[in-house]
Amino acid sequence: MTESVVLGSIAEVRRMLDAHRCAGRSIGFVPTMGALHAGHQSLMRASVAANDITIVSIFVNPLQFAAGEDLGSYPRDLARDTDCCADARVDLLFAPSAEEMYPGPMATVVDVPPFAAPLEGASRPEHFAGVVTVVAKLFSIMGECRAYFGEKDWQQVAVVTRMAADLSMPVEVVPCPTMREPDGLAMSSRNIYLTSDERAEAPVLRRALDAGLAVIAKGETDPAMVEAVMADTVATASLATLDYVAAVQAETLVADGPLHGEVRLLVAVRFGKARLIDNDGGMVPGKPA
């Protein structure tokens, strides 16, 4: 197993990636907040397969945490994360300090599109401004590349993709399928917060999505009815507190009437100190001619 080269400064990253691009090598980038798991490794392996050089960033971004959220307790283990990257054959690991990324107060914050306002945007009002600002900064540091994001954070993928397009960034955003545990729970760094009893109930998120998709497959097009089925499913887990369920159009993240075409179902649930999200998509059956 070849060790990944660990870089701590923005200047080092730019210098090294510019040299690789000058040599004609393609760059793949996987942005993370660390606490890496098999889901992250699936993104790394997708990048390694498609690019000459893969770089992973590990940075717990304070801008995307509101007061009272888990910034201080967010799991951090750089030694383990470094081994995880090496196992996936990652070439470079960018692990900057907060001072390196934000040497002074941030006077510039990237605005977010309207479809960032509902769902995660409503539950965590400061979240997406922090996400797109740090991602814009990371994209600027990395330069021309392909950037790999997990579809578990579907709204984030949509927001980041739009930002890169709107700002003409030389970055291709590549969504990758959600990786799951054998019982259906989406892999997440925050799963570590679950107690054994909460972990046993956590697959209810997957079951809620399946229940919603099942009624859509039977012809249900009323978003409220689909959401009610999903909420009722979450309610079967005694330790779960529902944050939101949503049945929306996949492209716009809103329901503008009866569901049609490609749809996305999303759910957010709290288990004690863990807040988990998940989503899945499907097609509304077409009407007979």
Which tens digits make up the pLDDT trace of 168-181?
999 999 999 999 99
> Could you give the number of structural domains in the chain?
2
Active-site residue, selected from the candidate residues 37, 40, 127, 260: 40
CATH number for 259: 3.30.1300.10
Q: Which of 126, 150, 176 is the last residue of a domain?
A: 176
Q: Domain boundary at 122, 154, 176, which?
A: 176
The answer to the question of residue 289 being in a domain is no
For residue 245, give Cα distances in angstroms to 211, 232, 234.
Answer: 12, 10, 9
Looking at the domain assignment, is residue 288 inside a domain?
no
What domain range is 151 assigned to?
5-176
Amino acid present at 276: L
pLDDT band at 71 (very low <50, low <70, confident <90, very high): confident
All residues at 6 or more sequence positions from 167 whose CB lies less than 8 Å from its CB, including other chains: 136
Interhelix angle for 223-234 vs 204-217, to 10°? 150
pLDDT at 77: 87
Same domain (yes/no): 253, 207 = yes
Q: What is the CATH number of the domain that holds 161?
A: 3.40.50.620
Question: In this structure, are 194 and 156 located in the same domain?
Answer: no
The reply to whether 128 and 172 lie within a common domain is yes
Query: How many helices (DSSP H) and strands (DSSP E) are in the chain?
Result: 10, 9
Give Cβ neighbours of residue 283 (< 8 Å, ≥ 6 apart): 261, 262, 263
Same domain, 112 and 236: no
| pLDDT, mean over the chain | 93
Helix (H) or strand (E) holding 210: helix 204-217
User: Could you read off the pLDDT of 108-142 as tens digits, one per residue?
Assistant: 888 888 888 889 888 888 788 889 999 999 999 99
Cα 250 from Cα 158, distance rounded (Å)? 9
Query: Is position 166 within any domain?
Result: yes
| The pLDDT value given to residue 288 | 45
Give, for 139, the enclosing helix (H) or strand (E): helix 127-142
113 and 46 in a common domain = yes
Task: Tell me what the mean pLDDT of segment 184-210 comes to.
Answer: 96
pLDDT score recorded for residue 287:
54
pLDDT of 147 reads 98
Residue 23 maps to a domain:
yes
Q: Are 83 and 206 in the same domain?
A: no
- Asked if residue 235 and residue 133 are part of one domain, the reply reads no
Question: Is 160 found in the same domain as 49?
Answer: yes
Shared-domain flag, residues 172 and 196: no
Q: Are residues 158 and 29 in the same domain?
A: yes
**b/e map 84-119, b = 16+ CB within 10 Å:** bbeebbbbbbbbbeeeebbeeeeeeebebeebbebb
Token representation of residue 124? 């965590």
Predicted pLDDT of residue 289: 38
Please determine, for residue 65, whether its predicted confidence score (pLDDT) is greater than 50. Answer: yes
Instruction: State yes or no: is 40 an active-site residue.
Output: yes
In which residue are the tokens 């600002």 written? Answer: 133
The number of angstroms, rounded, from the C-alpha of 25 to the middle of its chain's C-alpha atoms is 27
In terms of domains, do 102 and 156 share one?
Answer: yes
| Arithmetic mean of pLDDT, 184-205 | 96
- Given 176, 198, 221, the domain boundary residue is 176
